[in-house]
A = this chain, B = another copy of it.
Amino acid sequence: MPVRVTVWGENVHEHTNEIVGKLYPDGMHACIAAGLNEDPEIQAGSCVLQDPEHGLTAERLAQTDVLIWWGHCAHGEVADEIVDRVQERVLQGMGLLVLHSGHYAKIFKRLMGTTCSLTWREAGEMERLWVTNPGHPIVQGIDKYIELPHTEMYGEPFAVPNPDEVIFISNFAGGEVFRSGLVYRRGNGKIFYFRPGHETYPIYYDANIKRVLKNAVKWAQPEGSSWIDDCPEIPVEKAPNKIVSQGEGLHKPGEGGFK
């Protein structure tokens, strides 16, 4: 069964910035999806901010194993209702890859609970992403490090919770360092934050970057089952041990809980 991927793109700079428009004529989202589709085990499509419901209908999300998120200047335009929907699917097991400036995406901040801030510089400097765990599925086929000749620098402090794993650490020509590949788990969803990706550089055409995304998509796919949690009352008669209700209560029998 191929891994079903949806690549979500903000699709703004492709139309407002000439350089980006030339680099990614069909949009970064389509470029990323095309790269993934080189792999027969992956089936990737894309959608954009401007689509109805940002393209992330309940139906589409239900059929998405892994969602890839790219956003930059329009994070605030993503409807909270759609963010709720995406968060729910991640907690149920849908994988999530957050790319580059997506560190400030509502969905990432929602799942992290922190500001996700960092330092940055747009000077086209060289980045070296060092692999911190050569045995990890995400880095298979990657050498000791990936070199990207021109990138936008991101530097520590990166205000995220301590990750479950660090996959890459980058250093930049200007001197800064950054944890550029991070793994988290929220609910049953696997999350991979991957730093490279500035719009004005051809990063998503890079063979190593494409390889990492293919690996990450396969790594992030759901395992187990899609458990949908709720907050059920377990009445006295359903308690595993025999008990009798005692003491005072707020709720009448059968009355729902507060949320």
Could you tell me which A residues sit within 8 Å of B by CB distance?
13, 17, 19-20, 72-73, 75, 87, 91-93, 101, 104, 110-115, 117-125, 128, 130-140, 145, 147, 150, 152-153, 155-159, 161-166, 169-171, 173-177, 179, 185-188, 198-201, 219, 223-227, 229-236, 239-241, 243-251, 257-259
Contact = CB atoms under 8 A, between A and B. Distances in A.
Residue among A75, A161, A177, A259 facing the most chain B CB atoms (10 A cut-off): A177
Contacts of A136: 188, 224
A118 B133 CA distance: 11
Contact of A121 (B93, B117, B235): B235
B225 A114 contact: no
A241 B119 CA distance: 15
Residue among A112, A124, A138, A198 facing the most chain B CB atoms (10 A cut-off): A124
Contacts of A120: 231-234, 257
A258 B200 contact: no
Nearest to A239: B174
A119 B233 contact: yes
A219 B225 contact: no
Contact of A250 (B199, B225, B231, B245): B199
Given A91-B159, A157-B134, A157-B229, A247 B171 contact: no
A30 B245 CA distance: 29
B175 A156 contact: no
A236 to B, nearest CB: 5
Contacts of A223: 137, 219
A97 to B, nearest CB: 16
Given A133-B188, A169-B179, A249-B200, A229 B162 contact: no
Contacts of A243: 123, 125, 173-174
Nearest to A230: B117
Contact of A231 (B20, B118, B162): B118
A157 B179 contact: no
A12 to B, nearest CB: 10
